Amino acid sequence: MVQAVERAVALLAALDAAGAAGVGLREVAGAVGLKEPTARGLLATLEACGYVVQEPGTRRYGLGPAAVALGRRGELARLSAAAEGPLRALGRAVGETVLLAAAHEGWRHTLLTVESAQPLKVGAAIGVDDRFYTTATGRLLLSRLSREARAAVVGKLGDPGDHWPEAAAGWETVLARLRAADHLRYENRAALVVAYAVPVPWAAADLPAAVGLYLPAARDTAADREARLRLLREGAAAIAASCERRTA
């Protein structure tokens, strides 16, 4: 093993264990069995790389944004692995295209898709985009971001204009209404597509996820909506339960 790497990893683990309160130099050095000058040098390097931050007032160390981002990517991978079986079951049950999306670092990540087997269908692709205004899952995820994260997304994308005229009149009112709802329906009249989204009630509240359903508008009958929403809610709950089992 490379000793410097081993020591750096041990320091990161100690900072993770310390949590939001952070930890002082003497304490973290003692926790990993290092002399303070050695720990200080390693921490300075990790800080320069964005993996460690030092609070100016208390001089206590904590995990930096790069380390947190790595953890969130791990959460995305865990969510994808846990959701694969439940999402396939949902696709079979509902008979339409379904997907799993999550919001991370200002982007909408489509992690998994299961496309409808019907001749006339709406496709969905795995990938990363910023379609928070023009997709059902995007709008739902935006409403569940923290105030700071929402502001960053809105600042990057600008005014939604014709894409979301209701939001332009009052962001916080519209988003608060979405947070209080257990689903969202979005109709793209130009494309003749209807989409639904429901939140995934899993433990990582700072990494919101949603299950989406896409279908041709011609098949979106009022008589079938409640049944589809029930299946979506059940699918989202199954994904959350699968995540919990994997971490138990």
108, pLDDT greater than 70:
yes
Task: Supply the pLDDT for residue 214.
Answer: 95
Residue 32 pLDDT level (bands cut at 50, 70, 90): confident
**C-alpha distances in Å from residue 7, one per residue of 11, 13, 32, 58, 116:** 6, 10, 8, 23, 50
Answer whether 236's CB lies under 8 Å from 199's CB: yes
pLDDT-derived band at 1, boundaries 50, 70, 90 = low
* Domains in the chain, CATH or no CATH each: 3-63 (1.10.10.10), 71-247 (3.30.450.40)
Token couple for 239: 């994904």
CA distance 76 to 70: 10
pLDDT value, residue 5: 81
Query: Which distant-in-sequence residues (6+ apart) come within 8 Å of 51 by Cβ?
Result: 12, 63, 64, 66, 67
pLDDT value at 44 more than 70: yes
Backbone φ, ψ for residue 121 (5° rounding): -145, 170
Give the ranges where 22-146 is alpha helix by DSSP (H): 25-32, 36-48, 65-94, 136-144
pLDDT band at 85 (very low <50, low <70, confident <90, very high): very high
- Looking at residue 215, its pLDDT comes to 95
Question: What average pLDDT does the structure give for the chain?
Answer: 87
Residues 133-159 as b or e (16 or more Cβ within 10 Å = b): bebbbbbbbbbbbeeebbeebbeeeee
What average pLDDT does range 132-148 have in this prediction? 92
- 3-state class (DSSP) for residue 97: strand
Given pLDDT bands bounded at 50, 70 and 90, which one contains residue 169? low
